[in-house]
Amino acid sequence: MGGPLTTPPPGPPALDLQRIVRLFRPYRGRVLAVAGLIFVSAILGLAQPFLIREAIDVALPEGDVGLLTWLVLGMVGAAIVGSALDVGQTWLSNTVGQRVMHDLRAAVYAHLQKLSLAFFTRTRSGEVQSRIANDIGGMQGVVTSTVTSFVSSLTTVIATLTAMVFLDWRLALATLVVVPFFVWLSRTVGKLRRRIVAQRQKRLADMSAIVEESLSISGIVLTRTMGRAPDLVDRFARSSDEVADLEVQSAMAGRWRMSTVQIAFAALPALVYWIAGYSSANGGSFVTIGTLVAFTTLQTRLLMPMVTLLRLGVEIQTSLALFTRVFEYLDTEIEIAEPARPARSPLSSADATGAVPALPVRFEGVTFGYDPRGATTIDGLDLEVPAGSTVAIVGETGSGKTTLGYLVARLYDVDAGRVTIGGVDVRELSDADRSALVGVVAQETYLLHSSVAENLRFAKPDASDDELVAAARAAQVHELIASLPDGYDTVVGERGYRFSGGEKQRLAIARAMLRNAPVLILDEATSALDTRTESAVQQALERLAAHRTTIAIAHRLSTVRDADRIVVLDRGRIVEQGTHDELVTRGGHYAALLERDREDEASAAPAMLGAGVAAR
C-alpha cells in the first residue's frame, strides 16, 4: 500500500533542468572536452560544401588537376578526422554519462538508507525498486548520449546556418523562415509525451510491486494455498496491457506533426532552386552553380541534425518526468537525522582490554504514536533498565512492547520525552555509535540471499572464522551449520527459506552475539523454538546477557521468569512491575496473562500430539 509518495505531482521543469545540470558539475572538465570535440567536428563537417563549390566553380572549369586533387584530399581527410573525433566524443560522453548515472543511483540509495522506518511502512517495496531500476534506468539514454547528441546537433545546426548566410543570405533567410515553427512543434509534442511518460512510469511501478509481492517465496506460498494465481495473472496482465498502450501512445505522440518537418525539409532544396532561377530570370544577381550545389548540400546536412534536434528536444522534455520522480525521493525529508555535532559515545569509556561496559537504559516521560493524528502507542512512560540487568516487557498484543525496542534503537523518534543509553540521549548519538551500542534480535528473522558466514559477518565484517564458530556454538546452531553441504559457505536461500523458523532465529542470535553490543533488544527472540532448543538457547542468551543490559520483549511468559524485573504494559503505560514471584503473588495483570498462557499451552498440546502421530 503506497503512501502519498507513490503518486507525486510533476515538478517544475526549470528546477529539474537546473538540478540535471548540477549532476554534471563534478565532470565539467570532461564535459568541456566533449563540447570542444563536438565544435571541431561540426566545423570540419562544414568544409565539404565549400570544397565542392571550389571544385565546381574553379578547379573543373579551369582544368586545374592539382587544385582538384587537393580539394578531393581535403574532403576525404575531413571525413576521416571527423569520424575519429566522433568516436572519441562518443567514448568520452558515455563515460561521463555513466559516472553521472552511478552518482545518481548511489545518492538515491544512500538517501533511502537514511529515511525512517515509517517511510518504508507506507511505501511499497516494488515502488522503491521501480524508482531505482525503471526510472533511473530510463534516464540512461538521456544522460549518456541524448544530451551530447542534442549539443552536437545544435552546434551543427548553428554552424550550418552560419555557413548558409555566408554563402547567400537571401537563400539562408528563406530556409530560416520555417525554424520557429519547428521549435514550437517540438515543445508541444514534448509536453504531451511527458504527461504520457509520467503515467507509464506509475504503471511500471505497479507492475514492479505486483512482482515483488507475488513472486517472493512468501507470496508464492500464499498465492498457491489461497488459489489466487489466476487472479494475480489477470491483474498483472491488465497492468502490463496498460503499459503497452502507454508505450504506443508515447511513440505516436505528435508523430503526424513531426512528419511535417521531413516534408518541409524535402521541399527546401526545390525552393532554393526556384528562388535562384527566379532571381536569375528577372535580372537579379546570379548565383553560381557551385554556390547553389554547396547551399543545397548544406541544406541536406541541416536536415538530419534539425530532425534529431527536435526529436531529442522531445525526449529531454519527456525525461523530466523520470527525473522528477527520482528527485522526489532525494527531496524526501530525513525524519531521523544524524546530529550535526554527535555526543561522545558511552563506549568511549571502555577499558584498555576492550571489555564492553554495562550501560543503563532510561525512558524519561516517553510519549510516541505512529500516526501523529491518531492515538499514542506509548503514553508518558518512565522506566529505568539498570546497567547489566535483564528487564522483560510483557503485555497484550498492541500494548507497545516492540515499540520500546524500536525507540531504543532509534528506528523511530519519540514525540515527547527522551530515551538515553549510558546517560546520553539516543538522538544525540551518531548512527555508527548508536548501532554499536544496541544489538537487536527481532521476532521475524531476516537473512540475506548469501552464505551463512556472510550473514553472520553482516554484524561484524572483520570477524574471523573462529569467532563465527564461537558465536554459532553459543547460539546452539554450530552443529546444524556443520552438517550443511558446504558448512559455513552454504547459501541460505531467499530470505533464509531453506531453514526453519527456529533455525533462522538461532542464526540471528549468533549474529547478535557476534555484534557484542552492550545493550540487547530481544524481541520474541525464542518464539519459534521448540522447548528443548529454547532451553539451550535461553542458556546461551543468559551467558550473552551477563554484564550487559537486556530488554527482553516476550509473549511467551515462560521465557522471562528469571528476568531481574518484569514490566507489564497496557495501552502504552506501565501497570505492573516486579519479579515473577512478586507479580504472581499480586494476582494482577501479569497473573492473568500467565493463566492465559497455561490455558493456551494446554489447548495446543493435544493438537501438537495429533500432528506428531499423523506425521509418524
Cell numbers for 614, please give them. 499423523
Number of residues assigned to the chain? 616
Q: How far is CA 204 from CA 108, 126, 192, 217, 322, in A?
A: 19, 10, 19, 22, 12
Let me know whether 443 and 582 are in one domain.
yes
Let me know whether 312 and 431 are in one domain.
no
Residue 109 within any structural domain of the chain: yes
Let me know whether 325 and 412 are in one domain.
no
Q: What value does the mean pLDDT of the chain take?
A: 77
Instruction: Output phi, psi for 7, to 5 deg.
Output: -130, 70
Pairwise CA distance, residues 224 & 226, whole Å: 5
Pairwise CA distance, residues 510 & 531, whole Å: 19
Task: Choose between 79 and 538: higher pLDDT.
Answer: 79
pLDDT digits 0-9 by tens, 250-272: 666 655 555 666 666 666 666 66
Mean pLDDT of 208-230: 61
Residue 524 within any structural domain of the chain: yes
At 458 the three-state DSSP class reads coil
Pairwise CA distance, residues 120 & 411, whole Å: 11
Q: Give the residue numbers spanning the domain of 451.
A: 358-590
Q: Which residue shows C-alpha cell 525498486?
A: 129
Residue 605 within any structural domain of the chain: no
Let me know whether 383 and 496 are in one domain.
yes
pLDDT at 607 over 50: no
Confidence grade of residue 151 (pLDDT, cut at 50, 70, 90): confident
To which H or E segment does residue 361 belong? Answer: strand 361-368
Task: Tell me the CATH number at 65.
Answer: 1.20.1560.10
Residue 6 within any structural domain of the chain: no
pLDDT digits 0-9 by tens, 303-347: 667 766 666 666 666 677 778 878 888 888 888 888 888 888 887
What pLDDT does residue 414 have? 92
153-162, 348-357, 484-493: segment of lowest average pLDDT: 348-357
Let me know whether 234 and 316 are in one domain.
yes
Confidence grade of residue 207 (pLDDT, cut at 50, 70, 90): confident
Let me know whether 326 and 368 are in one domain.
no
Pairwise CA distance, residues 611 & 616, whole Å: 9
Q: Which of 310, 330, 350 is the last residue of a domain?
A: 330
Pairwise CA distance, residues 146 & 286, whole Å: 42
Closest CA to 21 of 133, 143, 140: 143
Q: Read off the pTM.
A: 0.67
Let me know whether 308 and 362 are in one domain.
no
Let me know whether 299 and 419 are in one domain.
no
Task: Tell me the CATH number at 403.
Answer: 3.40.50.300
What pLDDT does residue 460 have? 87
Q: Which residue shows C-alpha cell 529539474?
A: 16
At 138 the three-state DSSP class reads helix
Residue 82 within any structural domain of the chain: yes
Let me know whether 87 and 162 are in one domain.
yes
Pairwise CA distance, residues 309 & 185, whole Å: 12
Pairwise CA distance, residues 246 & 15, whole Å: 26
pLDDT digits 0-9 by tens, 167-203: 777 777 767 766 666 666 666 666 666 677 667 767 7
- Antiparallel, parallel or unpaired: β 519-523 and 438-441: parallel
Mean pLDDT of 381-396: 92
pLDDT at 573 over 50: yes
Give the total number of structural domains in the chain.
2
Let me know whether 305 and 429 are in one domain.
no
Let me know whether 326 and 364 are in one domain.
no
Give the number of other CB atoms < 10 A from CB of residue 608: 11
Residue 4 within any structural domain of the chain: no
Determine contact, residues 154/309, Cβ cutoff 8 Å: yes
Residue 155 within any structural domain of the chain: yes
Question: Which of 102-106, 210-214, 320-324 holds the top average pLDDT?
Answer: 102-106
Let me know whether 276 and 368 are in one domain.
no
